[in-house]
Chains A and B, each alone.
Chain A
Amino acid sequence: MIKAIEAIKAIPNPQKYRYAVIMASCTLFFSPFLFLPGLVDNPDLCGKVCIRRFYLFFPGMSPADVSGKMQVAAIGVYILSLILITTFFFGRMWCGYICPVGGLPELVSRTFSDKWKIEYRALPQVPIRYGYFSVYLALMPMLGISACTLCNFITIPRIFDAFSGNPKGLAFALSAVGLVNLALLFLLGFFATKGRAYCQFLCPVGALDGLVNRLGAKLRFTRRIRVERNRCTGCNICARNCMTGSIKMVDRIAVVDQLSCMSCHECVDVCDWGAIDWRAAPLDEDPKRKKKGVDFHPQPQWQAVYVSPPLSKNK
């Protein structure tokens, strides 16, 4: 109990708000309240609000077929466009702050010890994600594999259904496909470090969103998580905390992968040096690495030796 309170206290304040928003969106999107899907008379995130399947590609598709597909999931089309537009200007706000499907596993995962989890963040996530994404877009439809087979957007709402006494939820959870989806939710969610492995590898919305995020990052006025390189001490605390494994230490400077970063701000909150921030354009366009001994943001000596992790802000 005390341990739990301590753990909660250790969470940086802005992150507490983020967690609260995710929890709130769980109540907005899922049973028993279903506030948002309820607005359009939908019992879950499937069918006309599905944001995952209207862009599937089939050989021989005509423009009429495409627009037909979009009509079927008209509301999903609006939602996805909204997500992508905000992403373009502000970074992946939906994924980091709102999406209950990615957020719930993250929150659950964070309550477990990091030791007993699978660390997926070292895997080459970009090739895996976009490899699977292309298979998902073209090969799976062609082979007749349903887009719904590995979908967390059905699994998680169904769990909430089951707990709120809706027989449909239980029925899904007890089916062979449902059980495997549940198992994957455990392995790619609850028991993944930081719980975002589904987002990293399998989510088509995340894959699209990542592309837009990357595209927008090229413009100077868009807000993104960017590193001011001559401030980065190479302490790597951001990389260790990044839930999506977007930060890689290259030459002892944090580099953010804009295809995967969700602008969750955790790195900003843990960086003691204010080197990483959510900002418009990088301040140092052509940064030169400041060497030891040069009197500009003096780098502590221990960085060169680097044995133990640096002092933590939350000590």
Chain B
Amino acid sequence: MPLKHFLFVIVLFISFIQTVNAAQRHPDPDGCFSCHALEGLDYIDKNGVLRSASIDKQHYYSALHGSVPCKDCHRRIREYPHKVENGEVDCANSCHVEEPSEGEPYTHKAVVKEYKDSVHGNGWYKGLTGGNRFREAKEAPVASCRFCHGNELYIREAELPKFKEAFDHLDSECGSCHQGEIWLGQFGGHILRRFIGSRWNKNDHNKMCNGCHADHERMAKVEQKNEKTGKKEKTGPRFILASDSYATTLHGRLLETNVMQGASCIDCHAPKGFRHGVLRDEKSDASTHTDNLAETCAQSDCHAYATHPLNHRFVKTDLHDIDMIPVNNSIVPRDQSRLESGWVKALIALSPIIVILGGGSLLWWLFGGKKKSVTFSILGGDAFQEKMIGRKPKSKVKKKVHQKKKPTATLTRKEAEDE
């Protein structure tokens, strides 16, 4: 503790000398930046990891929440210096945006509830904020809010001119009904941003999901509860390689080349609600449950016909087909079930023929075939002669005709040459 006090004094002292360059978006009413704006504000945490508590002002002010005072979210901090744990944020709490008609602060409770019920919801840390970013980034099997909702720009750079233009008309267009500072100043911007369009496109969604799901090692550690036995079990290759198998589908390929008609991960796995409710296929209200698939596919522009009764097999098309990814994948535990597929059986049936034909070709190429005449295939050659050319294949004719007709042939040849 004395060390911290000492630090604090030094920090205060230096902060007076510090000049602030970033465009300040709020006056920092709680004075947090007196310390946190300092460079090199490092400490060693419980696990002995060196952590930095410095905040880059420029970075912060340009971030999504750059206009929100620190204590609006970090509510448990009441004194300096504060405990590390008190810095944690509970995303389910109410927040700075006020719903003007009722005057109630906005809250993410509904979103958090949806998320908590989802596969990702039994988070490793209460309040879904994630405590230790390092541990979360490396090991957490399920993601907290922050994992996906980074402090990125609220409005994309490319959309900013559009937003500004709309914002200029805010007074005249929205303002005729919704008056007052809160409506227009705070809420208006939020609504407007959504109006301009979603900030993320499908590729951003996929990138977000792939942040974890494309990491085979991490996915191999995931355990899922077996609904029958109630025990936690390791997942199989289907789960671990889900991102790879998706990439082989047309959905994945279209998005990869920026054709936005392809379906992203959450287009199928969380198409409804706040798009946080990813559920396991087995759950009856999952969008990917067999009973709901038709509806899920039909919601898009692409497969509106999916609900047609004759298409009921179509919607069962395997979009995470393990047969499409390399059989020999060292990360995934060898699973005998992968060898049971019809494809593998077909291969076993086809390969001997290839080997025989290939070997024959090679031997023929090396040693045989000196005879210069028309050759017909060993497989189907006779049928070709009979059906297409309309003559008896040599192999069948030989015995009978060989002696009789041969002189005629030489004779006719001569005749032909004479002519």
CB-defined contacts of A146 to chain B, threshold 8 Å: 250, 317
| Residue pair A118, B379 in contact (C-beta under 8 Å) | yes
| Residue pair A187, B381 in contact (C-beta under 8 Å) | no
Enumerate B235-276 residues with CB–CB distance to A below 8 Å: 244, 248, 250, 253-254, 256-259, 261
CB-defined contacts of B257 to chain A, threshold 8 Å: 41-43, 47-48
Task: Please give me the residue from chain A that is nearest to B339 by CB atom.
Answer: A176
CB-defined contacts of A310 to chain B, threshold 8 Å: 416
In the assembly, what is the distance between CA of A118 and CA of B408, in Å? Answer: 32
In the assembly, what is the distance between CA of A112 and CA of B377, in Å? Answer: 11
| Residue pair B327, A175 in contact (C-beta under 8 Å) | yes
CB-defined contacts of A68 to chain B, threshold 8 Å: 261, 301-302
CB-defined contacts of A118 to chain B, threshold 8 Å: 357, 377, 379-380
- Interface flag for B304 (CB, 8 Å): yes
| Residue pair A72, B311 in contact (C-beta under 8 Å) | no
Task: Please give me the residue from chain A that is nearest to B379 by CB atom.
Answer: A118
- Chain B contact residues, majority secondary structure: helix
- Interface flag for B20 (CB, 8 Å): no
Enumerate A274-305 residues with CB–CB distance to B below 8 Å: 298, 300-302, 305
In the assembly, what is the distance between CA of A59 and CA of B257, in Å? Answer: 29
- Interface flag for B409 (CB, 8 Å): yes
| Residue pair A114, B388 in contact (C-beta under 8 Å) | no
Enumerate B367-419 residues with CB–CB distance to A below 8 Å: 368-369, 373-381, 383-384, 386-391, 401, 405-406, 408-409, 412-413, 415-417, 419
| Residue pair A69, B374 in contact (C-beta under 8 Å) | no
From A46, A247, A305, give the contact of B412 (CB < 8 A).
A305
Determine, out of B1-9, B156-164, B224-232, B318-326, the stretch whose residues face the partner at the interface: B318-326
Report, as a range, how many residues of chain A touch the other chain. Answer: 35 or more
CB-defined contacts of A174 to chain B, threshold 8 Å: 326-328
CB-defined contacts of B417 to chain A, threshold 8 Å: 311
| Residue pair B357, A191 in contact (C-beta under 8 Å) | yes
| Nearest Cβ on chain A to B251's Cβ, whole angstroms | 10
| Residue pair B305, A60 in contact (C-beta under 8 Å) | yes
| Nearest Cβ on chain B to A140's Cβ, whole angstroms | 9
- Interface flag for B341 (CB, 8 Å): yes
Number of interface residues of B (CB under 8 A): 78
CB-defined contacts of B146 to chain A, threshold 8 Å: none
CB-defined contacts of B350 to chain A, threshold 8 Å: 180, 183-184, 187
Task: Please give me the residue from chain B that is nearest to A146 by CB atom.
Answer: B317
| Residue pair A112, B374 in contact (C-beta under 8 Å) | no
In the assembly, what is the distance between CA of A111 and CA of B417, in Å? Answer: 32
- Interface flag for B112 (CB, 8 Å): no
- Interface flag for B23 (CB, 8 Å): no
- Interface flag for B316 (CB, 8 Å): yes
CB-defined contacts of B253 to chain A, threshold 8 Å: 46-47
| Nearest Cβ on chain A to B319's Cβ, whole angstroms | 10
In the assembly, what is the distance between CA of A126 and CA of B276, in Å? Answer: 52
| Nearest Cβ on chain B to A55's Cβ, whole angstroms | 15
| Nearest Cβ on chain A to B52's Cβ, whole angstroms | 37
| Residue pair A187, B353 in contact (C-beta under 8 Å) | yes
| Residue pair B311, A306 in contact (C-beta under 8 Å) | no
| Residue pair A115, B377 in contact (C-beta under 8 Å) | yes
From A41, A175, A249, give the contact of B324 (CB < 8 A).
A175
Task: Please give me the residue from chain B that is nearest to A61 by CB atom.
Answer: B305
CB-defined contacts of B384 to chain A, threshold 8 Å: 119, 121-122, 193, 245
Cβ contacts A to B, 17 pairs, < 8 Å: A58-B311, A64-B301, A64-B304, A113-B361, A115-B360, A115-B378, A143-B313, A175-B248, A183-B354, A186-B357, A193-B377, A250-B390, A298-B419, A305-B405, A308-B409, A308-B413, A311-B413
Apart from A116-B364, A174-B327: 7 A-B pairs, beta carbons within 8 A: A58-B314, A60-B310, A61-B305, A113-B368, A115-B377, A146-B317, A193-B384
In the A-B complex, the 10 residue pairs with the smallest Cβ-Cβ separation, listed nearest first, are A60-B308, A302-B412, A119-B380, A144-B317, A116-B360, A59-B310, A176-B343, A119-B377, A174-B326, A122-B383
